[in-house]
Structure 1
């Protein structure tokens, strides 16, 4: 059994960065009783609250503190508990394994593809399809970056505002600072906040962008209509629809089509079911692929990013089919079979391509 591979999969699972096929591989490891014990041990030191939105340095520090606290607790009790020395030794040995594993994982994150790159005074995070990452900005703001997304931010915020640039989708839990507003530039939208939690979806190849507010308040302005200011309240969602126009002849090489914010709509966040706390718009943060009454074209785009696959429609009319779904550990084959149970279509998987017909 490949122990290094097991540790890599284990830590990727605990950090929420594991791929679907890797999760299946991890489940195979966990059939072994010893691997299952080690997995449970790691979970004791890997608190979801502390590590779901953290950077590498903070993660390492938190794990060190946990191990120190555990060792101190054992040491204080040692004199009154016969045979405790051997038990403490085993725990210290396990703690060392955890630290080694975390260090290995941090190295993996440092050399992996979804990493922070630097250019002068700016940093950048990029995620490939099928990948997600969580981290903390220099001001303490927590960011979860969805797949196929990019965010640029200053290495150190200065000036009157904290400004970042997003292409794709991200969930923000903004550190409160009334004197320095936080501004996200996302396509045609500028989202301005002081301290709040919300989701921004602005993929450049999609016909609309969304801002979904969970708590607090945000102000959204559109680059094409800067005089309009839309204020969102908790549980509200702003949808901005775009139209495209041909660029001037001298700009065709740079941008053949120009997106223009044509209309917007203010609506409520979407719950999967009545009296259900699962919010569709932010379900990806909990590693769930959820959609409700969406057309097949939009579902296909979400599945492409989720599974890192290319989906091709051989029958254009099938794009109009509408689906609702909730997937977590399913493979793309299993997900498509589930969709087939509600609407008639056929599909074929060849390598990393899916053909719908």
Structure 2
């Protein structure tokens, strides 16, 4: 990771409120190395407020436009000193470093605001909070609600949040602890579910590339509806989980939902109980909030995807026999190598680790 990437990540963590003592020391070291002062960055939030007119990731041109807005703003104030100690005053190095930060913010940012518009006179502001693989974030919303984002996840909400609505969109996995507000129900939209609450705690898992989605209620009540079946709605009770499996086989059970399964055109919906006799922080569905990866009878095909997100690593399984092998365990402070070696204790397999591309290849031990 370059100094630019490290600096950006630390600033982002500070904005998200999960800044540790170790992070403070690292940021102080970078500031000392480059001769920076905290007051130099009073306008640095501009880097996270990237404004542009088209949807999607901004191109280089829109980033350059953002740079011009940023540089114009700071010209009217004091020039932030972003160059190393030996290079002061206005310089190409200053612009280069800030531009690099701005580019990284636009493309890899943990928090940034997106402005979309059909014309120059009417814009709608969206706030996007996201995490990369291998990282997690805790976000306090404007109404005081708390959201924990698991790795590779994104939430989006508009500037009316907390005023006219409390609507968010989720891709990935998040744990919600929602502040009670009878006048503004909290609504979450995922690719296959719409969830509505007033005040409660629950977990939602809805990764874009996954063939399944689920919502797990911890306390309170949760109303769940489905875009593909708008006339149907389910009320979850505490410690209940609803799961949706997409791309169902041709033959399906037509049992009532409360019995476990029901059929629809493109998915199977099932309802189950979770962790009735289990301590809260040992419930598999929400253990990640306590920085634990708990898995019970999970096949290696699914577990490898969780491990990729958890450790920010690529797993290539060449031994197809391993795909359906099931594992049970808990990881918390283990490194990836420690974790993969622990898995080998259940089923014997070999692996090769390529540090150059951060890939682990699972091979047969025969």
Same fold (TM over 0.5): yes
Is 1:231 the counterpart of 2:227? The answer is: no
Q: Name the counterpart of 1:266.
A: 271
Match of 2:340 among 336, 344, 351: 336
Deviation, 1:262, is 1.2
Classify 1:261/1:185 alpha carbon distance in 2 versus 1 (closer, same or farther; 3 Å). farther
Classify 1:291/1:124 alpha carbon distance in 2 versus 1 (closer, same or farther; 3 Å). same
Deviations along 1:63-85, one digit per CA (max 9) or x if unpaired, are: xxxxxxxxxxxxxxxxxxxxxxx
Match of 2:127 among 123, 148, 160: 123
SS in 2 for 1:281: helix
Deviation, 1:186, is 0.9
Q: Name the counterpart of 2:93.
A: none
CA distance in 2, matches of 1:349, 1:320: 22
TM alignment of 1:32-51, pairs within 5 A: none
TM alignment of 1:135-174, pairs within 5 A: 135-157=139-161, 161-174=165-178
**Contact 1:193/1:217, CA 8 A, preserved across alignment:** yes
CA distance in 1, matches of 2:278, 2:127: 41
TM-score calculated relative to the size of structure 1: 0.63
**Contact 1:183/1:193, CA 8 A, preserved across alignment:** yes
Is 1:133 the counterpart of 2:137? The answer is: yes
SS in 1 for 2:333: coil
Structure 2: give runs of 5+ residues left out of the alignment: 1-5, 26-44, 46-100, 116-123, 250-263
Deviation, 1:289, is 1.2
CA distance in 2, matches of 1:315, 1:236: 36
Structure 1: give runs of 5+ residues left out of the alignment: 30-55, 57-106, 246-258
Match of 2:327 among 311, 316, 323: 323
Deviation, 1:316, is 1.8
**Contact 1:242/1:260, CA 8 A, preserved across alignment:** no
Bigger proportion of residues as helix: 1
Q: Name the counterpart of 1:219.
A: 223
CA distance in 2, matches of 1:260, 1:141: 35
SS in 1 for 2:360: strand
**Contact 2:248/2:268, CA 8 A, preserved across alignment:** no
Match of 2:110 among 110, 114, 117: 114
TM-score calculated relative to the size of structure 2: 0.62
CA distance in 2, matches of 1:126, 1:275: 29
Q: Name the counterpart of 2:359.
A: 353
Classify 1:274/1:211 alpha carbon distance in 2 versus 1 (closer, same or farther; 3 Å). closer
Q: Name the counterpart of 1:80.
A: none
